Amino acid sequence: MSSRGHVVLQPAYFTSSIYVKALRDDITTLVHTFHERYQQDNTKPFALFKTLWNGQGWKWMHFRVFDSRTRETFLSTTIRLFLERMVKTEAPFTRTVALFALYTFFNTQPTSSAPTLYTLSNIPIPVDHYNSLIVLPTALTTAHLAPLQPFASYAIGSLVNASVFHLLPSSELGALNPREVPREIFVEEGLIDSNQPKKKWHTSKRDKVIKARTALDAVGRSLEQASPAPEARRTALRYEEQKGRLLREIGSDATNLREASEGVAQRLREAQEEQGENVQAWAGLARVETALESAGGMLRLHSSG
């Protein structure tokens, strides 16, 4: 008898926008909360940080995933997001809080759990970011930031002496893997990702429905602008009846949509035969026939007509 399967998060989850965006927001919350509390009492900065770290649930982060393959991506992505708040373009206070978070997260990896969990032994960092990190304590000299300086110096010295930093080429060369995070962009159903250009030769069912509705609205406007004679008004009423039928069919299979589209055109042809060629509304018929011909039997928006 086979053993019961286990649900395992795939590594791609931790490089996707779902995880990356949420963690970035959490890091920002940690920074802001620490800043508020630090303004009230800055006598023991790192003790205050540990209180917030535990209180916000960061101490449970290491138990989010246990599969070694996925855990490696989880750890490297999390550390990378701490590092990105430590670059020299960030405010010194933010950089220091991110340093505290990196130091705490890296040094609290479980080493005596059963079963044994995968742990990171080094921290990849571009050489330019490393150089700016090493001199961070020199930026903490103002009266407001001075209480942070000895703790920042200790955290950096501890990590450097343990040789945990793995130096990579300069950040402008994109040596981190993946080059950018998030790598996978999650798009909710029904929304379009504007960053992903569509292939010109592919038309989705949703696009066809939108174009069909647009074409119907265009024909309706043409009929409204036609002569107010009784014949034209009757033609407009017939059109509205057929339009309602077509809209009810939209969203079903292509065969029904094609039949409904042809029904609209056929009703307009019959009305033309009954009332003659001099009714202005027949511009609408020409538009419908052109749309049908160009869309393979289904109404869609067409630039001519």
pLDDT in tens, 186-241: 887 655 555 555 545 456 666 666 677 677 666 666 656 655 555 556 666 666 67
Per-residue pLDDT, averaged over 140-150, amounts to 97
Tell me how many domains the chain contains: 2
- For residue 137, pLDDT over 70 is answered with yes
Could you tell me if 73 and 14 are in contact, meaning their C-beta atoms sit under 8 angstroms apart?
yes
Residue 27 counted as domain residue: yes
pLDDT (0 to 100) of residue 8: 78
Looking at the fold, whether 39 and 135 belong to one and the same domain comes out as yes
Could you tell me if 187 and 16 are in contact, meaning their C-beta atoms sit under 8 angstroms apart?
no
Chain length of the chain: 305
Kindly indicate the confidence band of residue 76, based on its pLDDT and cuts at 50, 70 and 90: very high
pLDDT (0 to 100) of residue 214: 72
Helix boundaries (H) for 41-107: 45-55, 68-83, 92-107
Looking at the fold, whether 33 and 161 belong to one and the same domain comes out as yes
Per-residue pLDDT, averaged over 43-53, amounts to 98
Handedness of CA 94, 100, 103, 107 (dihedral sign): negative
Residue 305 counted as domain residue: no
Between these two residues, 71 and 221, which has the higher pLDDT value?
71
pLDDT digits (tens, 9 = 90+) for 87-132: 999 999 999 999 999 999 999 999 887 788 999 999 999 999 999 9
Beta strands in 146-235 (DSSP E): 165-168
Per-residue pLDDT, averaged over 228-256, amounts to 61
- For residue 63, pLDDT over 60 is answered with yes
Instruction: Report the predicted TM-score, pTM, of the whole model to 2 decimal places.
Output: 0.62
Return left, alpha or beta for 288; rule: phi > 0 is left, psi -120 to 50 is alpha, else beta: alpha
Angle between helices 92-107 and 17-40 (to 10 degrees): 110
Looking at the fold, whether 214 and 123 belong to one and the same domain comes out as no
173, 192, 222 - which closes a domain = 173
Terminal-residue alpha carbon distance, the chain: 69
Q: Which amino acid is at 203?
A: T
Per-residue pLDDT, averaged over 160-178, amounts to 96
- For residue 1, pLDDT over 50 is answered with no
Looking at the fold, whether 132 and 244 belong to one and the same domain comes out as no
Looking at the fold, whether 149 and 49 belong to one and the same domain comes out as yes
Looking at the fold, whether 100 and 18 belong to one and the same domain comes out as yes
SS3 199: coil
Residue 47 counted as domain residue: yes
Looking at the fold, whether 22 and 169 belong to one and the same domain comes out as yes
Structural domain including 223 reads 205-294
Angle, alpha carbons 207-210-216 (nearest 5°): 140
Looking at the fold, whether 209 and 108 belong to one and the same domain comes out as no
Backbone phi, psi, residue 159, to 5°: -70, -40
pLDDT (0 to 100) of residue 304: 39
Residue 182 counted as domain residue: no
Looking at the fold, whether 217 and 284 belong to one and the same domain comes out as yes
Residue 225 counted as domain residue: yes
Looking at the fold, whether 46 and 129 belong to one and the same domain comes out as yes
pLDDT (0 to 100) of residue 303: 39
Looking at the fold, whether 159 and 237 belong to one and the same domain comes out as no
Element of type H or E holding 284: helix 282-294
- How deeply is 88 buried, as exposed, middle or buried, from its count of CB atoms within 10 A (0-12, 13-18, 19+)? middle
